[in-house]
Chains A and B, each alone.
Chain A
Amino acid sequence: MSNGIVHWFRFASPQSFYPLAGKMAPWFAALAGLLGAAGLWIAFFVAPTDAQQGESYRIIFVHVPAAWMSMFLYVVMAAWAGLGLVLNTRLSSMMAHAIAPTGAMFAFLALWTGALWGRPTWGTYWVWDARLTSELVLFFLYLGYMSLNAAIDDPRRGDRASAVLALVGVLNVPIIYFSVQWWNTLHQGASVSLVRAPSMAATMLTGMLVMALAFWMYSIAAALARVRAIMLEREAHMQWTQQLPEAVT
């Protein structure tokens, strides 16, 4: 058992994690493809037509899992960033930076699919409902993280500063979500959601869970691929990167 612990810490250095990430990424991408296909099949062929919203509601199979992932990834990103801040490890911070763009993309996707859903349902492309508004704020939190990191020249200071920001953000997200919910109920806003009889819930839930899993596998694959690129960029001055086949031009 102690052997296992020693092995894991070996991967804490960018140099050893680089090839491991390269090997793992394609597997997660393949899993993402399979689960995604399964999820979309459920979305389009298994789930029944909705009585009120017709076929257009099927977009929830992308919208809801994307929203879930954007939230989940923010917490994971903050966890990696916090780890990097506390333990002073470069790789943890790099993982956080690798996750951020994917999380932002899912937030953006959730916003777009929400808009596309709103159009046939409410006749407008944007509805200020609690979930969409919270999603918008989350999107800005991601943008803030990425912008802060990009604006700071020194990579170590950038790692630590964006870690503080991510931790502050993750503590604030529940408060922000609550306040948006409060705001929405106060003003009797519209809601882009399903008012559904319980019997339909099972198929839809399964479909959304499968899509969520697909998105999760995709996120891992994307993060692994991206962290390799970040490693090449950050460690360009070190010997191990200069000796890699992809670095020799």
Chain B
Amino acid sequence: MLDATDLECVRGTRRLFKGVSFRLVPGECLFVQGPNGSGKTSLLRILSGLARPERGEVRWDGQAIGSIGPEYHALLAYCGHANALKEDLTPVENLQAAAALDGRPSTLEAVREALDAFGAGAFHVLPVRALSQGQKRRVALARLRLCARRLWLLDEPLAALDASAQTTFAAMVDRHLAGAGIAVLTSHQPVGLRAPTRTLSLS
């Protein structure tokens, strides 16, 4: 269960948002919207623990995320704007490195299967440098399939994805929510989930 209480975010001298509160239980999805620069990315970073809010706190299962540290990291998956892929490595090598970082090294089959599910299996031997933006995004999202996490924080996951990849992604999120996962995502486009979502508007 994710609890956000009275979050306030200040960047430099601008206050981006204030008084943001919500609670998410397993199976729920929060859709964050707002104009450019309204603090959607900052909110996700605060929820992940990368950034500290000016005021307010975030709690997981009743405990402040600052105090549980590594345990919180173990159950969350964060996908930012950047794909977090090394351009000189192949998708397979990238996912293997990501899984190792998780502390759960995965087999080659599992990696190939995650890539295939996202339609990224065809170019698994090319360095990421040679892929298009959309293909890179598919590889980045395939990581979610590889490492099972309870909380997903996704920043503009649909950016550069074509229609079929968007459908695959929506199905993946639906499956995650059905399996008692929680998701918070920002997007400028409708995500098309079957599960009901709550919306938070920052403006």
Contacts from A to B (Cβ < 8 Å): 153-155, 236-237
Contacts from B to A (Cβ < 8 Å): 11-13
User: Nearest Cβ in chain B — how far from A200, in angstroms?
Assistant: 57
| Nearest chain A residue, comparing its CB with the CB of B10 | A156
User: Nearest Cβ in chain B — how far from A223, in angstroms?
Assistant: 24
User: Nearest Cβ in chain B — how far from A87, in angstroms?
Assistant: 13
Bound complex: CA A135 to CA B12 (Å):
35
User: Nearest Cβ in chain A — how far from B187, in angstroms?
Assistant: 27
A contact patch SS? loop
| Nearest chain B residue, comparing its CB with the CB of A88 | B52
Closest 3 CB pairs of A and B: A237-B13, A154-B12, A155-B12
Bound complex: CA A155 to CA B10 (Å):
11
| Nearest chain A residue, comparing its CB with the CB of B13 | A237
Please, could you name 6 A-B residue pairs with CB atoms under 8 Å apart, sorted by A?
Answer: A153-B12, A154-B11, A154-B12, A155-B12, A236-B13, A237-B13
Bound complex: CA A154 to CA B10 (Å):
11
User: Nearest Cβ in chain B — how far from A149, in angstroms?
Assistant: 15
| Nearest chain B residue, comparing its CB with the CB of A235 | B13
Bound complex: CA A154 to CA B12 (Å):
6
| Nearest chain B residue, comparing its CB with the CB of A237 | B13
User: Nearest Cβ in chain A — how far from B143, in angstroms?
Assistant: 28
- CB-CB under 8 A from A237, the residues of chain B are 13
| Nearest chain A residue, comparing its CB with the CB of B14 | A237
| Nearest chain A residue, comparing its CB with the CB of B12 | A154
- CB-CB under 8 A from B13, the residues of chain A are 236-237
- CB-CB under 8 A from B11, the residues of chain A are 154
User: Nearest Cβ in chain B — how far from A14, in angstroms?
Assistant: 14
- CB-CB under 8 A from A236, the residues of chain B are 13
Bound complex: CA A211 to CA B12 (Å):
41
- CB-CB under 8 A from A153, the residues of chain B are 12
User: Nearest Cβ in chain A — how far from B115, in angstroms?
Assistant: 37
| Nearest chain B residue, comparing its CB with the CB of A236 | B13
Bound complex: CA A236 to CA B11 (Å):
15
User: Nearest Cβ in chain B — how far from A89, in angstroms?
Assistant: 13
- CB-CB under 8 A from A154, the residues of chain B are 11-12
- CB-CB under 8 A from B12, the residues of chain A are 153-155
| Nearest chain A residue, comparing its CB with the CB of B54 | A156
Bound complex: CA A52 to CA B160 (Å):
81
User: Nearest Cβ in chain A — how far from B177, in angstroms?
Assistant: 35
Bound complex: CA A148 to CA B156 (Å):
33
User: Nearest Cβ in chain A — how far from B67, in angstroms?
Assistant: 16
User: Nearest Cβ in chain B — how far from A18, in angstroms?
Assistant: 18
User: Nearest Cβ in chain A — how far from B55, in angstroms?
Assistant: 11
User: Nearest Cβ in chain A — how far from B15, in angstroms?
Assistant: 10
User: Nearest Cβ in chain A — how far from B52, in angstroms?
Assistant: 8
Bound complex: CA A155 to CA B11 (Å):
9
User: Nearest Cβ in chain B — how far from A197, in angstroms?
Assistant: 60
Bound complex: CA A153 to CA B13 (Å):
11
User: Nearest Cβ in chain A — how far from B113, in angstroms?
Assistant: 41
User: Nearest Cβ in chain B — how far from A41, in angstroms?
Assistant: 49
Bound complex: CA A142 to CA B12 (Å):
25
- CB-CB under 8 A from A155, the residues of chain B are 12
Bound complex: CA A237 to CA B15 (Å):
11
Bound complex: CA A161 to CA B12 (Å):
15
| Nearest chain B residue, comparing its CB with the CB of A157 | B12
User: Nearest Cβ in chain B — how far from A233, in angstroms?
Assistant: 11
User: Nearest Cβ in chain A — how far from B18, in angstroms?
Assistant: 15
User: Nearest Cβ in chain A — how far from B91, in angstroms?
Assistant: 33
| Nearest chain B residue, comparing its CB with the CB of A238 | B13
| Nearest chain B residue, comparing its CB with the CB of A153 | B12
Bound complex: CA A153 to CA B12 (Å):
8
Bound complex: CA A155 to CA B13 (Å):
9
User: Nearest Cβ in chain A — how far from B12, in angstroms?
Assistant: 6
Bound complex: CA A82 to CA B12 (Å):
21
Bound complex: CA A155 to CA B54 (Å):
14
| Nearest chain A residue, comparing its CB with the CB of B52 | A88
